[in-house]
Chains A and B, each alone.
Chain A
Amino acid sequence: MTSLIELSLKEVADKLKNREVTATEVTKACLERIKDRNEQINAYVHLTEDKALDMASQCDKRIKEGNARLIGGVPLGIKDIFCTKGDLTTVCSHILDGFRPPYESTVTENLWKSGAVMLGKTNMDEFAMGSSNETSYYGPARNPWNLDCVPGGSSGGSAAAVADYQCFGATGTDTGGSIRQPAAFNGIVGMKPTYGRCSRYGVIAFASSLDQAGPMARTVEDTALMLRCMSGYDPMDSTSADLAIEAYDEGLADLDLKGLKIGLPKEYFMEGLDPQIADLVKQAVKRFEEQGAEVKEVSLPHTDAAVATYYVVAPAEAAANLSRYDGMRYGLRVEGENLMDTYERTRSEGFGWEVKRRIMIGNYVLSSGYYDAYYTKAQKVRSLISQDFKNAFEDVDVIFAPTTPTTAFKLGENSDDPVQMYMNDVFTLPASLAGLPAISVPAGLVEGMPAGLQIIGKAFEDKKVLQVAYAHEQMCGFELKKPE
C-alpha cells in the first residue's frame, strides 16, 4: 500500500475532501517524515509544528462542517523568503536573525485561504542568491537522489522537501531560475509563472523586476492546482497583473497536440550542455511530433548575453533592496564605535560572501560614470532578449529547452568559481529577463540523476504551458524515487 506521504497533492486533497483522511493525520505524517529526514536533507530551516497542527485541526473542523476548501488540509513547505506573520522569516541570512514579520505575504495568505497547512520554512540560498543552496546561513540542503549532490537553488530546500516526500508541494521564488533549476535537479515540477501572476507583497525582495513566486510539486496537476491557489491580482503590488485567476488545474488534458507548434532554440544546444540532457529534450520533442505537433528551429540570438545582462540588472536592484538591512530596526545589529561603524560591522557580519559580491557589483554598475556602460546597456539588451522571444513566438506556440546544462553537481564543486556557478542559469535566465511563464518538468535520468525539460510560453499563457507540460508528463513516464 502506498503510504500517505506518497500521494500527490491532488490525491490527498481529494481524500481530505472525501473525509478518508484527516488534515491532522496528513500533517502528522509529513512532520514525522521531516523529523526523520531533516538531519540528512536539511530542507527545513524553521519548522512551525504547532502552527501546522493548529491549522490542520481548523481544516478538519471546516471539512466536517462541509466547508472544504480547494486544497483544504494539504501541508506545504514555504520558502524562507515568504513573510508569514509571527514566524521566523530569515531568507536564510544571518542578518535577519530572529526576524518575525508582523504581516503575511499575499501568496501565503492566498494559500491559507485555500485551506493549505504550513509545515515550516524551507532552506534556500541566502537572499535567493545562489544556484546550489550552499550560500544558506543554515548550511546547504541536500539532494535526496544523492546526498553528495546539491539540490540546486535558490529554492533548494523546497525542491528537496517535495522530492523527499516531506510535503505535497512547496512555494518557491524564481529570479533567474531559482524554481526551475532545483526542480530539474530533484526530478520534480517547478513553475515560474508570468511576471505579475503572483503578488510580490511580503516576498523578501532580491531583484524586484525579476522576482516571481511559483509552485513546486511532484506532478503537473499539483503544480497547476497550487498556482491557482497562490496567484491573483494584488493591489498591494503595483507590478501584479490585474487578471482573473484561472482554474489552471482544469482541462489540462484538453490541449490538442495536433498542430501544436514547438520551437527549439538553436542557441540553447550549445557547448557545455550535457549531450545526454540534449537527447532527453529531443526525445520529448519526438513524442510530441508523433502526436502531430510541428517542431521548428527558432533563433534567440541574444541568448549569449543573458548571463551578463542578468548579472548587471539583478545585483543593481539587489544592492538597493538590501540597503534596508542596516541593524537599525530589526534583525542583526553589531554595535560599533559610531553610526558608520555599526553599519559596517552589522552588514559585514550579517551578509555572506555571495550577497556581498552582488551588492558590490550592483553599486558598481549604478555608480556615476559606469551607469550607462552597465545599467543602461543591460536594460537595452534586456529589451532585445524580450524581442527575441516575441519574434520566435510569431512562429511557434511554446519553446522547448533544457532547464540546466548539467544534472545536479557535487557540493563544493562550483563554489570557488562564481562564473561557473552563474553559467548554470544560462537556460533559465532569458525567460526571467523576458518575464515569460516557464516550467521545468522531469525529462528523464542521466546517470541516475534527474534532468529537466523547460517549456517556455507567451506572456500570460501560463495555462497552455501547464497543458503542454502535462502532455509531456503523460508521455514521458518519469517516476520519482520512492521514499526509503
Chain B
Amino acid sequence: MRQDYEMVIGLEVHAQLTTNSKLFSGSSAEFGAEPNTQTCPVDLGMPGVLPVLNTRAVDMGIKFGLAIDANINRVNRFDRKNYFYPDLPKGYQISQMDYPIVEGGYVDIELEDGSEKRINVTRMHLEEDAGKSIHDLGEDRHSHVDLNRAGVPLMEIVSEPELRTAEEAGEYLKKLRSILRFLEVCDGNMEQGSMRCDANVSVRKKGEDKLNTRVEIKNLNSIRNVMRAIEHEAERQIAIYEYGGEIDQETRLWDATKNETRTMRSKEDAHDYRYFPCPDLLPVRIPEDRIEELKKEMPELPDQKKERFMKEYGLSKYDASVLSMQRASANFYESLVNGNRDAKICANWMMGDFFAALNKAGKDISESPISPEQLGELMDLISEGTISGKIAKTVFEEMFETSRSAKAIVEEKGLVQINDTGAIEAIIEDLMQQSPENVQAFREGKTKVMGWFVGQTMKATQGKANPAMVNQILQQKLQG
C-alpha cells in the first residue's frame, strides 16, 4: 500500500453464544443438527406465540461487558428490526437498537513489532440470528431454508474505527476471540460461522482527520480473509482516489477465490428497518447483585494470565503472550510446569516441538494426542539424565503418534542413556586401539578428530551414551 495513505477500519463482530437454548425459545441452539429439527413455534414465527428472554444469554453479555471493562446498561431494551426474507420467519429480527446491553470498553492488542494499542469498543448488543438460506440446491435449483439457526443468540460487537492496518484488525479479532473463548461464551469458530465479521473500510491521506466514505465488506469467514479483504479494499479505494474518483457508500462481498470484493448492494438499496421497541418483551433490568455475582464467576482473562505468566514463571512477554492466548494452551502449560518443572524449559518444549507437531497434524491443542502429564514425564526423563535431549525428540515423535508414555517407549526401545563411566571408557579404549592414527593426530594438535571419536562413540551406543560424559572421558583419554 502507498505510504502516504492510511486505512480507517472498524469491525462488527457477530459472536454466537454457547447457550443450550435459543435467545427467545427453548429450542436447542446446538450446531450441526439435521435441517429444521431444532425449531419450535416461536422460532418458526407461528401466529400468537411469544418470545421469552433467555437469561443465560444476558449473563453472558454482562460477562463480556465486564471482560472489556465496559458499561453494563442496567436498563436495556429489545427492538424489532423489520425486513422480509424467507429465513427471517417473523419478518423482523429482535435486536437492540437504542439501548444495548453494553457500551464502551476496550481491547488491548499487541503487534509484531512489540508495540501495543488500545482499540475502543463502541457497543455490544444481543440479538437473535436468522435462519440459513441455501440457494440453487438440487436439480430444480430451488432455494432451501434451514431454521435451526433462527433465534440462536448473538452478540454484535462494534469497534470504534480505530484500526489502521490489516494486521491490527487481525490482532483485534484474535484477541476478541480469545476473550470470548476464555469466558466460554462463544467457541469463536469463524469457518463454521459461530464468529462472523463485517469490516468497514475507508482510506485517507496520512495526517488527515476526516473520515472518508466507508465501504462495508461481508462474507469474511476467517481472520486471514478479513486481513486480505481489507488490504484489497484499501488498494481499490486508493486507486479510485488517485484517479480522481469518488467512493460509493455500499456493501461489498469478499470473494476469497478471486481475491476481490464486489458490490452487493448500494446505499440506495439500503433498508429502512423501521426499528421500534418490541412490545412483547419488557425492558431488561439488571440488578446490581446479579452483576456482583457474575463478577465472582469471571475467569482469568488473557491479559491477566499473560501478566501472571511473566511474573510467576519469569517468561518473556512474547512467550507469555503466546501461551496465554488460548485457554487450552495456558492450562496445558500450567499443568506441564506443575509447580516444579523448569518453567522456561517447559515453555520452550511447548512452543517448539509440541506446537510444531500440532501444527503439522492440523490439530488444535484440545485434540492433542498427549496430555501435559505425558509430556511432563518426558521432560523428567531428560532432567534426570535417563535420556538425552536428542533422544527425547525421537521419543516425543513416537509419543505424539501413538499416545504412549515416554517411559514405555524408552524402555521398550532400550533408549536409556548410558551413564556408566566404565562402559563408556571401554568403548573409547576399544576405539583408540583400533585407530591409533587418529589418536596420534589428536595428540599432534588436530583436535578436530575429537568429533570423529564422539560420533563413533555415539554410533557404538546407538546414541544412548551420555554426551557430557563421552566428552569428558575422551578429553582425558586422548590427552593421555
CA distance A339 to B88 in the complex (A): 14
29 A-B pairs whose Cβ atoms sit less than 8 Å apart in the complex: A81-B48, A83-B48, A96-B47, A101-B46, A103-B41, A103-B46, A105-B48, A200-B50, A200-B280, A201-B50, A209-B279, A236-B50, A236-B52, A237-B50, A238-B51, A238-B52, A238-B53, A238-B281, A239-B279, A319-B82, A319-B274, A320-B82, A322-B91, A323-B82, A324-B45, A324-B90, A363-B82, A366-B274, A367-B272
Given the interface pairs A323-B82, A326-B91, the reply to whether A363 lies near B274 with Cβ below 8 Å is yes
Bound Cα distance A205, B49 (Å): 8
Taking each of B46, B51, B53, which has the highest tally of chain A beta carbons within 10 Å of its own beta carbon?
A: B46
Q: When A and B form their complex, which 4 residue pairs have the shortest distance between CB atoms, in order from nearest?
A: A323-B91, A208-B279, A366-B274, A209-B279
Bound Cα distance from A375 to B90, whole angstroms: 21
Q: Check: A99 CB closer than 8 A to any chain B CB.
A: yes
Q: In chain B between 249 and 286, which residues have their CB closer than 8 angstroms to a CB of chain A?
A: 272, 274-276, 279-282
Q: Tell me if A239 and B47 are in contact (CB < 8 A).
A: no
Q: Is the CB of B48 within 8 A of A101?
A: yes
Answer yes or no: B376 CB below 8 A from chain A CBs.
no
The contact of B41 among A96, A102, A204, by CB within 8 Å, is A102
Contact B82 A202 (CB under 8 A): no
Q: What's the minimum C-beta distance from A145 to chain B, rounded to whole angstroms?
A: 32
CB <8 Å contact, B47 and A89? yes
Q: Which residues of B (417-437) have their CB < 8 Å from a CB of A?
A: none
Q: A330 interface residue, CB < 8 Å from B? A: yes
- The digit string for A231-242, where 1 denotes a CB below 8 A from any CB of B, is 000011111000
Task: Report the minimum CB–CB distance from B273 to chain A (whole Å).
Answer: 9
A203 interface residue per 8 A CB criterion: yes
Nearest CB of A to B393, in Å: 61
Tell me if A317 counts as interface (CB < 8 A to partner B): yes
Say yes or no: is A475 at the interface (Cβ < 8 Å to chain B).
Answer: no
Residues of A within 8 A of B49 (CB): 103, 201-202
What is the CB-to-nearest-CB distance from B404 to chain A, in angstroms, rounded to a whole number? 54
* Nearest Cβ on chain B to A42's Cβ, whole angstroms: 23
Residues of A within 8 A of B89 (CB): 324, 328-329
**Which A residues are closer than 8 A to B by beta carbons?**
81-83, 89, 91, 96, 99, 101-103, 105, 200-205, 207-209, 235-239, 316-317, 319-320, 322-326, 328-330, 339, 343, 363, 366-368, 371, 375
Q: Which residues from chain A contact B44 at a C-beta distance below 8 Å?
A: 329
B84 interfacial by beta-carbon distance below 8 Å? yes
Inter-subunit contact A235/B52 (CB<8 Å): yes
Report A-chain residues with C-beta under 8 Å of the C-beta of B45: 324, 329
B82: which A residues are within 8 A, CB to CB? 319-320, 323, 363, 366
Contact of A99 among B47, B52, B53, B275 (CB under 8 A): B47
CA distance A28 to B49 in the complex (A): 33
Judge whether B92 and A320 touch: CB under 8 Å: yes
Q: Is B86 an interface residue when CB atoms closer than 8 A count as contact?
A: yes
Is the C-beta of B63 less than 8 angstroms from some C-beta in chain A? no
- Residues B90 and A101 in contact, CB atoms below 8 Å apart: no
How many angstroms between the C-alpha atoms of A202 and B92 in the bound complex?
19
Provide the residues of chain A in CB contact with B272, threshold 8 Å. 367-368
Contact flags B1-45 to A (C-beta < 8 A → 1, else 0): 000000000000000000000000000000000000000010011
Residues of chain B within 8 A (CB-CB) of A103 are 41, 46, 49
From A101, A204, A323, residue with most partner B Cβ within 10 Å? A323
Q: State the CA gap A324–B143 with chains docked (Å).
A: 19
Contacts beyond the supplied A237-B50, A320-B92: 7 A-B pairs with Cβ under 8 Å = A83-B47, A200-B50, A236-B52, A238-B51, A239-B281, A323-B92, A324-B90
- Closest residue on chain B to residue A330 by CB atoms: B46
Least CB separation from B81: chain A residue: A320
Q: Chain B: which residue is nearest A328 at the CB level?
A: B86
**Distance A235 CA – B53 CA, assembled complex (angstroms):** 10
Assess whether B77 is interfacial by the CB under 8 Å rule: no
CB of B52 within 8 A of CB of A375, answer no
Q: How many residues of B contact A (CB 8 A)?
A: 29
Contacts of B145 in A (CB 8 A): 328
Complex interface residues of chain B between 161 and 192 (CB less than 8 A to chain A): none
Docked Cα-Cα span, A101 to B41, in Å, equals 9
- Report chain B residues within 8 Å CB of A105: 48
Q: Which of B45, B80, B276 has the most CB of A within 10 A?
A: B276
A329 cross-chain contacts in B, Cβ below 8 A: 44-46, 89
Alpha-carbon distance A324/B91, docked complex (angstroms): 5
Q: With A208-B279, A235-B52, A239-B282 as known contacts, state yes or no: A326 contacts B86, CB within 8 Å.
A: yes
Q: Are B280 and A239 in contact (CB under 8 A)?
A: yes
Closest residue of chain B to A342 (Cβ to Cβ) is B86
Question: Closest CB-CB distance, A241 to chain B, in whole Å?
Answer: 11
Most buried by B among A200, A203, A238, A368: A238
Would A326 and B84 count as touching, CB distance under 8 A? yes
| B143 contacts across to A, CB distance below 8 A | 339
- Identify the closest chain A residue to B86 (Cβ): A328
- Chain A residues whose CB sits within 8 angstroms of the CB of B52 once the complex forms: 235-238
Chain B, residue nearest A362 (CB): B274
Collect the chain A residues with CB atoms within 8 Å of residue B92's CB. Answer: 320, 323
Report the nearest B residue to A235, measured CB to CB. Answer: B52
Within 8 A of A (CB), among B54-110: 80, 82, 84, 86, 89-92
Residue on B with the closest CB to A323? B91
Given known pairs A339-B86, A343-B84, the reply for A320 and B53 (CB within 8 Å) is no
**Given that A329-B45, A367-B274 are contacting pairs, would A320 and B282 also be in contact in the complex, using a CB cutoff of 8 Å?**
no
- From residue A89, how far is it (CB to closest CB) to chain B in Å? 7
- Bound-complex Cα distance A203 to B46 (A): 11
- Residues of chain A contacted by B50 (CB below 8 angstroms): 200-201, 236-238
Cα of A89 to Cα of B47 in the assembled complex, Å: 9
* Residues of chain B contacted by A323 (CB below 8 angstroms): 82, 84, 90-92
Report Cα–Cα, A135/B279, bound state, in Å.
25
Q: Which residues of B contact A328 (CB under 8 A)?
A: 86, 89, 145
- What's the least CB distance linking B80 to chain A, in Å? 5
Indicate if the CB atoms of B48 and A203 lie closer than 8 Å. Answer: yes
Chain B residue with Cβ nearest A200: B50
Whether the Cβ atoms of A204 and B48 lie closer than 8 Å is: yes
User: In the complex, A91 Cα to B48 Cα: how many Å?
Assistant: 11
Q: How far is the CB of A367 from chain B (nearest CB, A)?
A: 5
Task: Give the complex CA separation of A101 and B143 in angstroms.
Answer: 26
